């Protein structure tokens, strides 16, 4: 698979500067793959964190609604 990314002028300059950190013994292609997969892993972790936070929020809302419903039943 081949992925092509279009950078703005500023992004391209930043990427060029970042690539200066590449260890000389590492091939360019392998370096780019590692950057790509590190980004994918970071995004996956962020998404999992957001999903977990949403699940917890939904559970709290459901619990609050159940408590309110019980209170209304007791008041009747």
Q: Tens digit of pLDDT for each residue in 28-64?
A: 999 999 999 999 999 999 999 999 999 999 999 999 8
Buried b / exposed e across 26-49, counting CB within 10 Å, b at 16+? Answer: eeeeeebeeeeeeeeeeeeeeeee
Quote the tokens at residue 4: 């092509």
Tell me which of 27 and 69 has the higher pLDDT.
27
């Amino acid at each position: 698979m081949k992925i092509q990314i279009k950078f703005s002028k500023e992004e391209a300059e930043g990427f060029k500067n970042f690539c200066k950190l590449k260890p000389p013994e590492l091939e360019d292609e392998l370096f780019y793959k590692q950057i790509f997969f590190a980004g994918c892993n970071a995004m996956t972790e962020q998404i999992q964190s957001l999903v977990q936070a949403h699940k917890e929020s939904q559970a709290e809302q459901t619990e609050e609604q159940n408590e309110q419903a019980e209170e209304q039943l007791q008041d009747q």
